Amino acid sequence: MYKMQIESEEDCLRPMNCQLNVLSRSDGSAMFTQGDTAVVTAVFGPAEVKPQRILIDKASVEALYRPKTGLPRVHDKMRETLIRNTCSTALLVTLHPRTSISIIVQEMQDSGGLLACAVNAACLALINSGIAMKFLVAAVSCMIDHEDNILIDPNSKQLKGSKASLTFVFDSIKKNIMACHTTGRFTQLQYEESLLKCRNGSDKIFSFYREIVRKVHQEHDRMSPTCRT
Amino acid sequence: MDESRVMRIYFGTDWGCCQVSLGETKVLAQVSCEVQKPKTTRPNEGMLFLNTELSPMGSPHFEVGLQSELAVQLNRLLEKCIKDSRCVDLESLCIVAEEKVWVLRVDINVLNHEGNLVAAASAAALTALSHFRCPCVTVTGQETVIHDPSEKDAVPLNLHHYPVCVSYAIFNKGEHIIADPTAIEERVSEAQVVFGVNAYRELCGLHLGGSSLTSHDLILQCANRAARRAAEVVQIMKLALKEDADARAAGKSVGFSECIQETKLLALSQKQLGLQLDTSQLRGETLKLVQKKNKHIMYDEKGVKVDSGQDDRDEDVEVEPSVILLDRGSAELLPKQKRIKTERTVPTEAGVGEGGQNQWMKIEGDNESLDESDEVMSSPSDVEVIKEVSYEGNKLVDSIELSGDSEEEETVVLNAADVNMSVENTDDSGTSENIRNWYPVKQW
């Protein structure tokens, strides 16, 4: 049913699975896996906001990242900041002033590319919650190994031999960079190349989002033919 | 009265990671271990710590950090049931007496709270403990070597028995008792009773909370039923563990990606997604771009920086810059958007693809045609045009993007009505049959 052509080298994203609406209490939720990295995300909102976080002209977006074991540490807080900034840009926050939108990400399995997986899962949960967004976001991670090869969407085994790892987040309309997080050393040329490759990869993720929405809507149309005029 | 919801257990790829769903209640447990000095009072034993986190994801009224009454109660119940009953053989966790022991830590995260958290959490904790493998340790004289699981197989933990928690909710002063209460039932109940029972009908923990006066034979009756239920739960756990062990031995893929039921409506999976990239051309392009970037940084009279070649797409796209004039003193640079030739994962029915050519507003020519947009296109007297504007693009969307905070004009990418509208507005240039119709066209 789907034609896949894997032409050139091994540049490929890991297989993606997702299930929406896995949690009954939250407004939107998604369980998303990329290869062996799995993440479950829940979105609550627009909901009542605490007085210290209230913003009079827009919704207050809050992101929470919980690791599987132990208490949240510094790099978890960094992930929270990135997710929060990305999502507050993508959401139409001025539509819901004086409310709060919370995005909670729970790590389930970490096999590399966790930040990218978390951002993608957050976007899926936001789609499921129905909060209005300006555009969708997709994150792609890549790494540069010691032979200066650029590998897209590496798993934890491949990441062990990396000298730099980069994660880019793109928006769905103009494919601009919304966020970028890197570790390690790399040249400008390597950065540009990784950026182009990751941008190419983000197209796949956007079409994945479209597919799941299309699937749901097709079923809705099929089940309620009276809606169709 | 004895009806319980269906319990499902899924395992992750790591040892000691499992998710239990009891109806809609979902709990994730993970076991980890660490070497530490033992307690002075018990130098031969390892230690076990249980940590229950009520994640804000579980319920809207769960908060971070704040240890609510429910969290404390849950933690205490599980500790009583699992730690105090000494179901895990702690002496086997000893490496070097009085110096090094394994310290186990069980983190339980509540993903969704739909009632009966204690049963789900206890099942998750016990399953995770049974699933966990401790790294193999060899002690040679003064040295202790901890082997990586890839070198030497990790050792499973020793569990004497499985004390599962079973809870009941009491209504109407003991007239009605129900097993496995949901969230709503819990909240309207008068009292809850939790039994910690193992498969040998031994009582490991008991908790009675609430405001209901009950007779003692009621409690005994419940205890009997709880023992039966506990035996069932232990059966389910053992079966799940066995299935997982078989799957791993057979080399089949395990992990949470398997628990996503693809047949469900809201689930989707996609296997290998190859990216079609010509690496040599890619390198050439990046080199060109990097050189360009460092040379050509142009400025116009108002100091608006106009970079050429900044917005690069894929290697198939020409990056001719074009300036759009919006307002006084502001300009935006957009490259020509050519058809991006990435591979198409197109299903044969509807025209779902990479998003196709943008059909929303097709503007040919130069500045005059920009009057069609909603934005105010004042005369560009203050911004010097370096290159002529001629682009095809999602102009409506772009102009909204750049107008700063006017987010009232929503740009909803997935909208059938917009597809309709764009069909009418589109400048017919022979490509109108390529309508993006991955939605059935609906009239509201």
Identify whether the C-beta of residue B139 lies closer than 8 Å to the C-beta of residue B183: no
| pLDDT tens-place string over residues B27-83 | 999 999 999 888 888 888 889 999 998 989 988 888 887 678 888 989 999 998 888
In a domain, B203, yes or no: yes
Indicate the average pLDDT of chain B. Answer: 72
In a domain, B50, yes or no: yes
Average pLDDT score over residue span B280-306: 56
pLDDT at A10: 58
CATH code: domain of residue B86: 3.30.230.70
Name residue B210's beta-bridge partners: B191
In a domain, B331, yes or no: no
Name residue A177's beta-bridge partners: A170
| pLDDT tens-place string over residues A150-188 | 899 998 888 898 899 999 999 999 999 999 999 999 999
Whether residue A40 and residue B279 make contact (CB cut-off 8 A), yes or no, is no
In a domain, B152, yes or no: yes
Facing residue for B257 by CB, picked from A38, A193, A208: A38
Which residue, B115, B130, B38, B122, is CA-closest to B79? B122
Range of the domain at B202: 7-259
Which chain A residue lies closest to B254 (C-alpha atoms)?
A: A36
pLDDT at A104: 95
Average pLDDT score over residue span B94-114: 90
Which residues of chain B does A69 touch, with a Cβ-Cβ cutoff of 8 Å? 30, 32, 105, 107
CA–CA min distance B311, chain A (Å): 8
Helix (H) / strand (E) element for B222: namely: helix B216-249
**pLDDT above 90 for A98:** yes
Number of structural domains in chain B: 1
**3 state SS for B370-422:** HHHCCCCCCCCCCCCCCCCCCCCCCHHHHHHHHCCCCCCCCCCCCCHHHHHHH
In a domain, B194, yes or no: yes
Which chain B residue lies closest to A17 (C-alpha atoms)?
A: B269
In a domain, B329, yes or no: no
Among B266, B352, B408, pick the best mutation site for testing chain A contact (most A Cβ within 10 A): B266
Facing residue for A221 by CB, picked from B267, B268, B440: B440
| pLDDT tens-place string over residues B133-143 | 988 888 888 88
**pLDDT above 80 for B416:** no
**pLDDT above 70 for B21:** yes
Indicate the average pLDDT of chain A. Answer: 88
pTM comes to: 0.72
Average pLDDT score over residue span B378-401: 46
pLDDT at A56: 93
- The pLDDT-based confidence of B427 (bands split at 50, 70, 90) is very low
pLDDT at B3: 83
In a domain, B423, yes or no: no
In a domain, B413, yes or no: no
Nearest-10 crossing angle of helices A188-223, B279-295: 120
